[in-house]
Amino acid sequence: MSSTVSLPTRLEKLVGSDRVRASETALQEFAISGRAPLAVLKPRSAEEVAEIVSFAVAENLAVVACGSRSKLELGMPPRGYDLALDMTALRQIAHYDPGDLTVSADAGLPLHELEGVLGAKNQFLPLAVPFFETSTLGGAVASGIDSVLRQQYGTARDFLVGAEFVDGTGKLCKSGGRVVKNVTGYDLHKLLIGTLGTLGVITRLNFRTFPLPELRGAHLSTFTALEPALDFHASLLKSGLPFSNLELFDAEFSALLAAWQNKTGGAPKSLSADGWKVVACFEGSTAVIERIRRELQERSERTKAAHSENIDARSAQSLEASFRGAFHWLGRSAPNVAVLRIVLPRAASGDVAELLSGSQPPLLRSAFALRACGVAYVTLLADEEADAANAILQREVTRLFSQVEENKGSATLLHASPWLRERVGVWSAKRADLQMMQRVKQAFDPHNIFAPGRFVGGI
Amino acid sequence: MLYEFDGSVEKARPEVIVFPHTTQDVSRIVKLAAKYQVPVVGRGAGTGLSGGALARRGGVMIVFARMNRILEIDVENRRAVVQPGVVNLDITRAVEHAGLYFAPDPSSQKSCTIGGNVAENSGGPHTLAYGLTTNHIAALELVMPDGEIARVGSRHGDAPGYDLCGLFVGSEGTLALVTEITVKLTRKAEAVKTLLAIFDEVGDASRTVVEMTAQGITPAACEMLDGWTLRAVEDYIHAGFPRDSAAVLLIEVEGLREAAESQAGAIAEICNSNRAREVRTARDDRERDLLWKGRRNAFGALGRLAPSNYVLDGVIPRSKLPEALERIHATGKKFGFQIGNIFHAGDGNLHPIVLYDPRDTGQFKRAIAAAEEIIRMCVSLGGSLTGEHGVGMEKNELMTLLFSDADFDLMRRIHDAFNPDSALNPGKIFPLSKGCGEIRVHKSAQSAGTRR
């Protein structure tokens, strides 16, 4: 520290006292894995963010940018955490051109607020992420967390067309633009996606928007065994039918989902805790919905589903919202939970499901869900936090990590106790391109002030 | 001399041209070049339109023509692993038996290579629905400027870490050479409907596009040809474009039968409400292919009208289409050119074509000035410098219209993180006028590029 004046006082001088909080309560609100920052700042503008970052560079302070703080647990806890940047005061829509299907909005704008504005013009942003009700645009992008509509609309990488951000030298930079097709300069805005705030502080994001679907539908099939469920799931993928989401899950997942649905708005009757289930979600005109329903019915009969039902539009929407928030409720479904996100070649995903459906270690239950885009979620649940349960969780996660690696996939621990996180890490394996990633980090953040240690490989 | 040119109006001469067969060959060549501090530029088929594959600072040109094997096709996971010299359309030909295809479809897809597509992040008519090349690449094998071989991305997507694959795609050969590409394959749609809407006023055609976008209708492709261009095309291809019309829209919708039909109906309605003279629907594959043949060969057709043509590439917000076309017309008038327009109207990606005689220096200079005025206009309307052709050595000086010193500083740091000595493709993307182009001059770099 370069001055005898206290840090909060120096920060107040920089941005004004109404923008700085340093009370114990305020600091605890922004704690990550028990570690609180020295001060919380709430900048009013991108320029103010740049000033704060410049200050942080000069004083060698570590900075973590936050939106609604719903996903701060992702990644490793940062090695340094001096300043929390509360970005929620940056919440303007800078441009919205409904006729162009593009929108440009500040990073701190809540997704649901944007949803309202776009919805008034019959449009939406297909960033259907967990904690949708509170998440900010910046947080949703920086966390890189899956959107449940990915099968149909892709990831943020497919509809983020530009960004403004403050780099690690305290300069306000931009990349991309506000048009839907653009190859001018390096695609640095896409590079920011999923980086957990380690490359820069996102201040504004430009997206392509989409027309709201006319109607939504869903269909649920139940199978007595995994194999026909997987066959059915695979046959739907090959069918060419447009699904917004396609989930295959086991009885435990079904039970947890039903419990969550009952809390939030009623589950379809057949969401019982038995067998393997496949839920298909789709959207379109009446003719498209009818056609998909008809084919689903025929296909589920052909694959000998034990039960098959069409779900009405209202229940379909509520089911989709539950899938959207799965990361949220899965993590809270038992006292000691580990949620893993696994990406595997399509053919190998069944192997993991099979493994999980086999003999369970004592003290542990597991829930499995496989999405259409090749992403599987494995949740390990223990009803106690005692050492024995922790040890079993540790062993299971380690085993899954290595199994995924053998199958040339990758696994990320999305949710776990700090104890487990510390022991097994968050990512399944060392990346061969780690050195290249470090070079990117160095270029964006030469003083290593942005969330140091939070990202892959200790970046 | 052949390798002095590409599809652009630029010219630059390499000193040595090599044709590697393997990644190891590429690595050895790059190591040798590094040892003697000679710049290296990669090249596919040389169809690029921004001078990306020209040796602006001389040195070694690595032509990937002989690295043209499809190494693996994985139908189950919809992936293909290919060498950079594979021709774009050959990927589709190799997988279409399984109902799959490679979605990015530049107009030059019969000759351009996938390596070039990756370097430039190429687009095409169907970008509107399916995105640019970057949306269809899962992983890359690279040779870095020191000759080391690296891999980025992951075959099945989504590996944790920074999206390096996304960074390298579209970096125009300025960060690394691409030696192997894992592409994502797309399933062919169940139904395709191709419409030709004929207009007596250009403004009606462009307003149709604006209204279609505003109503949230995203066709798979939406191309516009103005009257002057379509007459040239018709004389050459006989695609069935009406010679007396002011503009046509070639619109394609894809998807489930039910969706394609209702979309086609809605589009026809919008065309009619904007005073389309006629809306035709291709009755079969033969008719569809003919319409597309007319579109894809348009540049060739125009090539018959003048010794040379300059195909521009700018992007505007789609709602500004009528205004942009009027201003292009005014620019043509001002500089004494008839400027043709044949472009991807659906995503606001303009391709004005200036016909000129390169032997007439005055005319050439005017063509360049007209081009610059049009690109500046695109930016002033809230658009961008290039939608799919890349910056290369064509527009590097115009980059300052969009980017600040801070933006360049960061891009330069990214550049230097991988290509610190500007050994790979020097003189591209970054404006030389701002001193951020060639800071490091190579010993043997004597043959500076000049415009033709």
CATH code assigned at A282? 3.30.70.3450
The pLDDT confidence band at residue B449, using thresholds 50, 70 and 90, is very low
Sheet holding B352-356, edge to edge: B276-281, B191-199, B247-255, B221-226, B339-343, B352-356, B308-311
What pLDDT does residue B396 have?
Answer: 95
User: Is a pLDDT exceeding 50 seen at residue A33?
Assistant: yes
The pLDDT confidence band at residue A313, using thresholds 50, 70 and 90, is confident
B87: CB partners within 8 A, 6+ apart = B45, B68, B109, B110, B111, B112, B113, B114
Question: In whole angstroms, what is the distance from residue B353 CA to residue B336 CA?
Answer: 13
> Is A438 domain-assigned?
no
- Quick one: angle between helices A7-15 and A46-59, nearest 10? 150
Encode pLDDT of B246-269 as tens digits: 999 999 999 999 999 999 999 999
What pLDDT does residue A1 have?
Answer: 47
Residue A434, chain B, CB below 8 Å: the answer is: yes
Distance, CA of A97 to chain centre: 27
Indicate the CATH number of B1-188+398-452 among 1.10.3720.10, 3.40.430.10, 3.30.360.10, 3.30.465.10. 3.30.465.10
Residues A331 and A320 occupy one common structural domain: no
User: Is a pLDDT exceeding 60 seen at residue B441?
Assistant: no
User: Is a pLDDT exceeding 70 seen at residue A269?
Assistant: no
Phi, psi of A268 (to 5 degrees): -60, 145
Residues A152 and A206 occupy one common structural domain: yes
The pLDDT confidence band at residue B437, using thresholds 50, 70 and 90, is very low
Encode pLDDT of A183-215 as tens digits: 999 999 999 999 999 999 999 999 999 999 999
Residue closest to B47 by CA, chosen among B85, B91, B95, B103: B85
Phi, psi of A353 (to 5 degrees): -60, -45
What pLDDT does residue A41 have?
Answer: 98
CATH number 3.30.70.2740 given to B306-394: yes
What pLDDT does residue B447 have?
Answer: 42
Candidate from A14-28, A376-390, B15-29 with smallest mean pLDDT: A376-390
* Percent of chain A scoring above 90 in pLDDT: 79
Which site among B144, B149, B152, B162 would you substitute to test the A interface, given the most A Cβ atoms closer than 10 Å to its Cβ?
B162
What pLDDT does residue B157 have?
Answer: 77
CB A193 within 8 A of CB A144: yes
The pLDDT confidence band at residue A357, using thresholds 50, 70 and 90, is low
User: Is a pLDDT exceeding 60 seen at residue B446?
Assistant: no
Q: Give chain A positions within 8 Å (CB) of B348.
A: 100, 179-181
B191-300 in CATH: which number?
3.30.70.2190
User: Is a pLDDT exceeding 60 seen at residue B435?
Assistant: no
Structure tokens at B111: 């000759």
Q: Give chain A positions within 8 Å (CB) of B399.
A: 184-185
What pLDDT does residue B220 have?
Answer: 96
Phi, psi of B29 (to 5 degrees): -65, -45
Test A288 with B77 for CB contact under 8 angstroms. Answer: no
Mean pLDDT throughout A228-248? 92
Domain B306-394 in the same topology as domain B191-300 = yes
Residue B220, chain A, CB below 8 Å: the answer is: no
If one counts every other C-beta atom within 10 angstroms of the C-beta of residue B380, the result is 12
What pLDDT does residue B152 have?
Answer: 96
Mean pLDDT throughout A47-76? 97
Question: In whole angstroms, what is the distance from residue A284 CA to residue A216 CA?
Answer: 7
Which ipTM was obtained for this model?
Answer: 0.95
**Angstroms from A362 CA to nearest CA on chain B:** 31
**Angstroms from A48 CA to nearest CA on chain B:** 16
What pLDDT does residue A359 have?
Answer: 57
User: Is a pLDDT exceeding 80 seen at residue B119?
Assistant: yes
If one counts every other C-beta atom within 10 angstroms of the C-beta of residue B418, the result is 23
Q: The pTM is what?
A: 0.95
- Quick one: angle between helices B202-214 and B321-335, nearest 10? 150
Mean pLDDT throughout A410-417? 94
Residues A285 and A227 occupy one common structural domain: yes
> CB-based burial of residue B8 (10 Å sphere; 0-12 exposed, 13-18 middle, 19+ buried)?
buried
Q: Give chain A positions within 8 Å (CB) of B413.
A: 442-444, 446
What pLDDT does residue B434 have?
Answer: 66
From residue A24, alpha-carbon distances to A15, A78, A86, B143 in Å are 20, 19, 16, 52
Which site among A181, A282, A405 would you substitute to test the B interface, given the most B Cβ atoms closer than 10 Å to its Cβ?
A181
What pLDDT does residue B298 have?
Answer: 86
Question: In whole angstroms, what is the distance from residue B449 CA to residue B11 CA?
Answer: 6
> CB-based burial of residue A28 (10 Å sphere; 0-12 exposed, 13-18 middle, 19+ buried)?
exposed
Question: In whole angstroms, what is the distance from residue B177 CA to residue A266 CA?
Answer: 55
Token pair 């996100």 is found at A341
Domain hosting residue A185, numbered range:
90-211
- Its sign, for the CA torsion B12, B13, B16, B17, is positive
A101, A194, A442 member nearest B417 (Cβ): A442
The mean of the pLDDT values for chain B is 93
> CB-based burial of residue A25 (10 Å sphere; 0-12 exposed, 13-18 middle, 19+ buried)?
exposed
Residues A319 and A333 occupy one common structural domain: no
Residues A53 and A107 occupy one common structural domain: no
Candidate from B30-34, B146-150, B215-219, B258-262 with smallest mean pLDDT: B215-219
The pLDDT confidence band at residue B366, using thresholds 50, 70 and 90, is very high
**Angstroms from A265 CA to nearest CA on chain B:** 31
> Is A15 domain-assigned?
yes
The pLDDT confidence band at residue A274, using thresholds 50, 70 and 90, is confident
The pLDDT confidence band at residue A390, using thresholds 50, 70 and 90, is very high
Mean pLDDT throughout B83-101? 98
Residues A175 and A242 occupy one common structural domain: no
Tell which wins on pLDDT, A161 or A409: A161
Nearest residue in A to B207, CA atom: A99
Count of domains observed in chain A: 4
User: Is a pLDDT exceeding 60 seen at residue A2?
Assistant: no
User: What is the length of chain A?
Assistant: 459
